[in-house]
Amino acid sequence: LVRFKKNPAVSTMFVYEEAHSGFPTPIAFMVVCKNVSCRKRWHASADATDVEIYTRVFESVDEDSSLIIHYDGSTQENFQYTPIAWETVYCRRDPVPFECAYRGLDVTKDAFEYELDEDDSSFEIKSNEVDGQTTHGIFALEDIPEGSYIMPYDLATSFSTNQDVLDNLQKNTDITGTGSVTVIEDFLEFVNVNGHASMSEGRELTYVETGATFMMRTSENVEDSNVGKWMPTHPSGKIPS
């Protein structure tokens, strides 16, 4: 594994386990890619993988048999999550790889949530009108210690969409003679404002905030911000691959 990682031709590695290999215990396999673009297919949704199988696999001559027995889109989704045992083995190296610091959140830190009941909420939503335009913002109702997690439940309600979906929606707005497409245009604008591209190169995935977190004020100046990433940038400047 280490030898593969040091090879300059290797861009991405995936380790997965398969229980239907003819052995009493699951067998581990590794997929090695020369280009990060393979992440998009590896992490595709179950239905997208099923479509790929349908379009790329020829029909069997024997109608009573299948060319693929233990593989479909749902199976591929299970392969996307590296087994904990392999993560543990990988992180036992010396020195410990920097990405091992990103395996989980700090459970010693507190979480502060936004609740509809103000008595239970750590935040409140306020409206402000400037030049005839009403804007909404979310503000803390109590002092929050540095390093705490804010609104994790709301952040968990975010949805993800890949670039193919957004491109197809954009093409629909460009078709003439179909009438108003305001709903699609508004949706794309919302994604553009509140979406965040995945930091994993090649995924082409966008996460869109739909909870109260999307009302947080933003600033281009880091010094003016009092909210940081859940997973801070590593001192080395690298990001997990």
Q: How high does pLDDT run on average in the chain?
A: 86
pLDDT tens per residue across span 53-71: 989 888 778 777 777 878 8
Measure the N-to-C terminal CA separation of the chain; round to a whole number of Å: 15
What does DSSP say about strands 159-162 and 205-208: parallel, antiparallel, or unpaired? antiparallel
DSSP string, 42-60: HT--HHHHHHHHHHHSPPP
The fraction of the chain above a pLDDT of 90, given in percent, is 33
**Contact (Cβ atoms closer than 8 angstroms) between residue 234 and residue 219:** no
CA distance 225 to 214: 15
pLDDT confidence of residue 188: 93
Enter the pTM of the model.
0.74
- Give the rounded percent of residues in the chain with a pLDDT score beyond 70: 95
**240 neighbors 99 (Cβ within 8 angstroms):** yes
**pLDDT tier at 4 (50, 70, 90 boundaries)?**
low
